[in-house]
Amino acid sequence: MSKKLLIVRHAKSDWGNAGITDFNRPINERGKSNAPIMGKRLKEKGILPDTVISSPALRAITTAKLITHELGFTTAKIKQEKSIYEATCSTLLKIINDFDNEHEMVALFGHNNGITDLAVYLTDAEIFNIPTSGMVMINFPFDDWKMVGKNTGEVEFFDYPKNSLTV
């Protein structure tokens, strides 16, 4: 068996209220419309993660709920991992290496710069930025999450709301 990792950047956030902390910043109207669109694209591809892990920051967990709702995934099953918030690539890799091997496909919802750095680190792909609500599916040719590391994965697709053709 192989492993698949779906890396998702949170939807576009709302910067309209300067009194809100970064952690509690919600998504804006564009984010509220883009996230379900991306969920529908995943559904069209027949993609349903075994488990979903998200940063607990409001914009990330909201994005996870909107996207997984389109997949029929029970949002109550979304696991929140506080160390994803403001995580570096190395922190995200540690989280991935600790995934339970019973999960073949995991969706990870997080933030830039960490998630773009992670996608490039794992695949050496020329991805310069994962846009808001953007996602990268990475395939790994082994069945143990502990083996995930530098250049061990291959991009299956890279998609984002303004992309008219899925790459």
Which tens digit of pLDDT belongs to each residue from 56-98? 999 999 999 999 999 999 888 899 999 999 999 999 999 999 9
CB contact at 8 A, 10 and 56: no
In a domain, 166, yes or no: no
- Report the percent of the chain where pLDDT is more than 90: 91
75 alpha-carbon distance from chain centroid: 15
CB contact at 8 A, 148 and 93: yes
Using the predicted structure, report yes or no on whether residue 167 has a pLDDT greater than 80: no
Tell me, what's the pLDDT at 59?
A: 97
Mean pLDDT of 127-156: 97
Q: For the segment 118-132, what is each residue's pLDDT rounded down to a tens digit?
A: 999 999 999 999 999
In a domain, 79, yes or no: yes
- CATH number for the domain spanning 105: value is 3.40.50.1240
CB contact at 8 A, 81 and 55: yes
Tell me, what's the pLDDT at 165?
A: 55
Domain of residue 89 covers 3-159
Total structural domains within the chain: 1
Interacting residues of 102 by C-beta distance below 8 A, sequence separation 6+ = 50
In a domain, 96, yes or no: yes
pLDDT band, very low/low/confident/very high, at 11 (cuts 50, 70, 90): very high
